[in-house]
Amino acid sequence: MSKPLRLLAQDQDDVPVVSALIQDAVVRPSEVCLDARARRFVLLMNRFRWEDAAEEPRRVRTALRIEGVMKATRKAWPSAADKEAVLELLAITVTPRAEGAATLELDFAGPAAVRLEVECVEILLEDLTEPWPARAKPAHKA
């Protein structure tokens, strides 16, 4: 079995690595949470294992945790009544601000997005389960 991924991003240069690993993850809106008191944003996803893409396509249950969140906003987010909604996470981008602060943008297929204002970049990406066979490898149009 492959080793579970556990990756810590602590500056803006680390964010593209995390972004590449979460590309094409599928997420239910109900599994996205902001704990304002702890200033923590958590997203549970079924991540496509790009690092194993040359082998049999596999997915794994993964948590993405972002610390130091000062403000969070959503755009075009599915309603709470839409229990069947599934979002495809495409990328995380970072825009640096003053003194280590940054804006993180989580972009999903279609119009949905989450913008996080953070005091510094601190992202933990951690696999929670063993991988399982994926139905197919995600395809991207040129």
Taking the C-alpha atoms of residue 15 and residue 81, their distance in angstroms, rounded to an integer, is 32
Q: How many domains does the chain have?
A: 1
User: Is position 62 within any domain?
Assistant: yes
User: Is position 138 within any domain?
Assistant: no
Kindly tell me the sign of the dihedral angle through the C-alpha atoms of 14, 17, 18, 20. Answer: positive
Range of the domain at 115: 6-133
Question: For all residues of the chain together, what is the average pLDDT?
Answer: 92
User: Is position 109 within any domain?
Assistant: yes
Taking the C-alpha atoms of residue 6 and residue 125, their distance in angstroms, rounded to an integer, is 6
Residue where the block lists tokens 């139905």: 135
User: Is position 22 within any domain?
Assistant: yes
Alpha helix stretches (DSSP H) within 5-93: 15-22
pLDDT of residue 28: 94
What pairing do the DSSP bridges indicate for beta strands 25-27 and 132-133? unpaired
pLDDT tens figures, 24-71: 999 999 999 999 999 999 999 999 998 886 778 999 999 999 999 999
User: Is position 139 within any domain?
Assistant: no
pLDDT tens figures, 102-122: 999 999 998 999 999 999 999
User: Is position 141 within any domain?
Assistant: no
Judge if pTM exceeds 0.85.
yes
User: Is position 142 within any domain?
Assistant: no
Read off the DSSP letter of residue 50: G
